Structures are given as structure tokens and as C-alpha cells.
Structure 1
Amino acid sequence: MLEKHIEIYWNSLAGIFNEYVQGEMACKKKQAWKMILRKYAGTAENTRILDVGTGPGFFAILLAEMDYSVTAIDKCDDMLTQARQNAASAGQAIHFLKADAHAAPFPAESFDLIVSRNVTWLLPNPLAVYQEWHRLLKPAGKVLVFDTNWFLRLSDPELKLQCDKYRQLAIKKGYKELITPEQQDESDDIARKLPLTYEKRPSWDEQAFCRSGFHNIIIQENINELIYDEIEQILYRPTPMFAICASK
């Protein structure tokens, strides 16, 4: 079953991605992300935020430090273990819960903002998830997605050439792969079974949000310079990270 395969695979990477998050916490990326999140989350008191696919808890901790009320969900037990440990080390009280993005166990209109980073590409049914997020948001609530066309290269030969080119340039600058070739092959195999591997984003997301009842959709097509270091900007030049914010 695809969803079980995804869960097992990402559980196996929890330690690796926790190390990456620890690095983000210790450099200027942390403040850069806080500025971006504040821009969309606003400054209203008692703002309730749901972090979907929290992984080791990076967004959840940042948002809690900014005095928001944060609930964070993930499908992977090992990721949640890392997230709870990281939140405790940061002195932040966050409600962590194992849950699916498409069937979160919360009443309708529970949250003011839903956020996710590098999660939506991994959804077997992303449209259903966006519809679920619409249900979970309060009136005038917002959803904020950060993602990129991580695996479009599998169906776009020209993009693959560009990704290979800039990966080699990044390696020459000192980039080191986070995962092994075998883990990368497994990730590619999972991606080939997922719908967003074959869609150009964020244009797909804009249409999906409209179909799900959202409006006032704001898109930043490329935020690489805001959140990546020099080597990452080279590595991800062909696949820039986008930000998309949609209101209920």
C-alpha cells in the first residue's frame, strides 16, 4: 500500500532530517522563516495554527516561539519523536499528534491558519487534502503552503538535465547528499506513484484551491533567495520553492 510505504520510508529518514532541522535552527534561516511566517500569520492574539507534516517540528517550534497556539501533526512516529524532543529542548508547549493530512481528527473551523512545508508533493490525493483544510479553517482562515516541483524531473527530460547540471555545480561548491543513492531511488519510486509528480506547480495548486472553495490566492513563485544558503540556491535553481497563501 502506497501510504504505508511512504510512512515507513520517511520514518527511516527521521534522524537525517532532524540533523538538517537542527542546522536550520542554528543559522540565519530560522529568522528568515520567522519573517515569512509572520507576514502571512499576522499578529492577532490567540491565533490557532495547524502545522501539517511537521517532521522534526521546525515550523511548529518557530510558530510557538512567535506566541501562536500550535498543533502539529505527522504520519510518522519517528518524526514525531524527534519533534517532541526538539520542542522540549526549545522550551515550547506544542500539541503533537499522529494524523493523516486528509483526515485530521479536529472539528470544523478549528484553526486560523494551516501551514505545511515540503509536504503536499507527497500526498496521494492532494485535492481531498485541500478540501479537508477548508473544513478545518475558521471563516477568513488561511492556508499557507511551501513546496516545489521536487520530482517533475521524472516526467520532464529538460528539467532533469537542468537538475543534474545544477546538482553537479552544487557538489563542486561543497554540497553533500543527505541520503544514499539507494534511498534516492526509493524516493523516486514513491514519487512516480504520486499525482503531483506530473503537475506543474504552483499553477496546479491555484486551481485546486479554487475548486476547494478558497479565494484571494496569493502566490510567490520563487522564495529561494529568502530561505536557502548559497549552495542550496545553486542546487535548487531549476526547482524554486514557492509560497502560496489562500483564504477561506
Structure 2
Amino acid sequence: MLGKRIEKYWGGRAGSYNEHVQKEMACGKKQAWESLLVKYAGTGDNLRVLDVGTGPGFFAILLAGLNYSVTAVDKCEEMLEQARQNAAAAGKTIQFLQAEAHAVALPDESFDLIVSRNVTWLLPNPLEAYQEWRRLLKPAGKVLVFDANWHLYLSEPELQLEHDKYLKLAMKKGYKQNASPEQRQENEAIARKLPLTYQKRPAWDQQAFRQCDFQQVEVQENISLLVHDEIEQLLYTPTPMFAICASK
């Protein structure tokens, strides 16, 4: 089953991914992400936020630091364990829950804001997830998605050439891949089975949010200059990160 395969893969990556997140916490990226969150979410005590696909808890900790009331979910227990440890070390109170992105066992209209980073591309049923997130939002609540066309190159030969070119350039500048060859092979094998590997985004997301009856959809097509370092900007030239804010 694809879902179990995805969970097993990311469970095996929990440690190395946590190392990546720790580096983000310790550099200017933390402030850059905080600025983006405030830009879209605003400020205010007791704002109830759900972090979907929290991984090691990077966004959950940032959101708690902004005085939001944070619940964080992830499918992978190994990731949640890393997140719990990181939240405790940061002194943040966060409610963690193991759950699928499209099936969160919480009441309707529970949250003012739902946030995800690098999650939607990995979902076997992304439209169902967006429908679920709308259910969980209070009236006028917002969904904030940060993502990219991470594996579109697998379905577009010209993009594959660009991907390979910029990977080589980044490696010459010092970029080191934090996944083993076997893990990279498995990641691509999983991606080939996922629907968004074959869709151009954020255009797909705009249509999907409207299909789910969100009232307003705002897109920022390239946030890489804001949140990536010099080597990452080079590496991700063919697939810059985007931001989408959809209002219920």
C-alpha cells in the first residue's frame, strides 16, 4: 500500500531530516519563515493553528513562538517523536497528534489557520486533504501552503535536464545530499506513483482550492529568495518554492 510505503520511507529519514531542521532553526531561515507566517496569518494571541505534516516540528515551534495555540499532526510516528523532543527543548507547548493529512480526527471549524510545508506534493489524495482542511477551518479561516514542483522533472524530460544541470552546479558549490542513493531512488519511485508529480503547480492548487469552495486564493510564485540560502537557490532554480494562501 502506497501510504504505508510513504510512512516507512519518511520514518527512515526522520533523523537526517531533523538534522536539516535543526540547521534551519539556527540560521536566518527561522526569521525568514516567521516573517512569511506573520505576513499571511497576522498576529494575535489565541489564534488556533494546525500544522499539517509537521515532521520534526519546525513550523509548529515557530508558530508557538508567535503566541499561537498550535496543534501539529503527522502520519509518521518517528517524525512526531523528533517533533516532541524539539518542542520540549524549545520550551514550547504544542499538541501533537498522529493523523493523515486528509483525515484529522478533530471537530469542524477548530482552527483559524492551517499551515503546511512540502506536504501536498507527497499526498496520494491531495484534493481530499484540501477538502478536509476546509472542514477544519473556522469561517474566514485560512490555509497556507508552501511547496514546489519537487518531482515534476520525472514527467518532463526538459525539466529533468534542468534538474540535473543545477544539481551538478550546486554540488560544485558545496551542496551535499542528505539522503543515500537508495533513499533517493525510493523517493523517486514513490513520487512516480503520486498525482502531483504530473501536475504543474501552483496552478493545480489554485483550481483545487476553488473546487473546494475557498473564497479567495492568493499566490506568491517564488519565495526561494526569501527562504533559501545561495546554494539552495541555485539548486532549486528549476523548481522554486511558492506560497498559497486560501481563505474560507
The runs of 5 or more residues in structure 1 that have no matched partner are none
Structure 2 CA distance for aligned equivalents of residues 215 and 15 of structure 1: 39
Distance 2:10 2:223 in 1: 25
Partner SS, residue 51 of structure 1: strand
- Amino acid of the structure 2 residue aligned with 1:41: A
- How far did 1:181 drift? 1.1
Shift of 1:215: 1.8
Q: Aligned to 1:70, what secondary structure does the other structure show?
A: strand
- Residue aligning to 2:178: 178
Separation (CA, whole Å) in 2 of partners of 1:184 and 1:88: 31
**What's the CA shift for 1:231?**
0.3
Alignment of 1:30-179 (within 5 A): 30-179=30-179
SS of alignment partner, residue 82 of structure 1 = helix
- Look up the equivalent residue of 1:101 and give its one-letter code: A
Deviation at 1:246, TM superposition (A): 0.3
1:161 maps to amino acid: L
Q: Deviations over 1:10-32 (max 9, x none)?
A: 00000000000000000000000
Q: Distance in 1 between matches of 2:227 and 2:86?
A: 21
1:240 aligns with 2:240: yes
Report the 3-state secondary structure (helix = DSSP H, G, I; strand = E; otherwise coil) of the residue aligned with 2:88.
Answer: helix
CA contact (8 A) 2:44 2:67 kept: no
TM superposition outliers: structure 1 runs of 4+ over 3 Å: none
Question: 1:44, CA displacement in angstroms?
Answer: 2.8
Which residue identity lines up with residue 141 of structure 2 in the other structure?
G
1:203-240: per-residue Cα shift (whole Å, max 9, x none)?
00000000001021100000000000000000001000
- Deviation of 1:193 (Å): 0.5
Equivalent-residue separation in structure 1 for 2:200 and 2:191 (angstroms): 14
2:187 aligned partner, one-letter code: S
Residues 112-154 of structure 1 deviation map (CA, whole Å, 9 limit, x = unaligned): 0000000000000100110011100000000000000010000
SS in 1 for 2:179: coil
Question: Secondary structure at 2:93's aligned position in 1?
Answer: coil
Q: Secondary structure of the equivalent of 1:60?
A: helix
**Distance between the aligned counterparts of 1:96 and 1:40, measured in 2?**
23
Q: Is the 8 A contact 2:43 2:66 kept in 1?
A: no
Contact 2:142 2:246 in 1 (8 A): yes
Counterpart of 1:229 in structure 2 is 229
RMSD, aligned CA = 0.5
Question: What SS does structure 1 have at the residue aligned with 2:178?
Answer: coil
Q: Between the two proteins, what is the percent identity of the paired residues? A: 69
1:78-108 residue CA offsets vs partner (Å, 9 max, x unmatched): 1000000000000000001101110101100
- Post-superposition shift, 1:45? 2.8
**Which residue is 1:18 aligned to?**
18
CA contact (8 A) 2:144 2:246 kept: yes
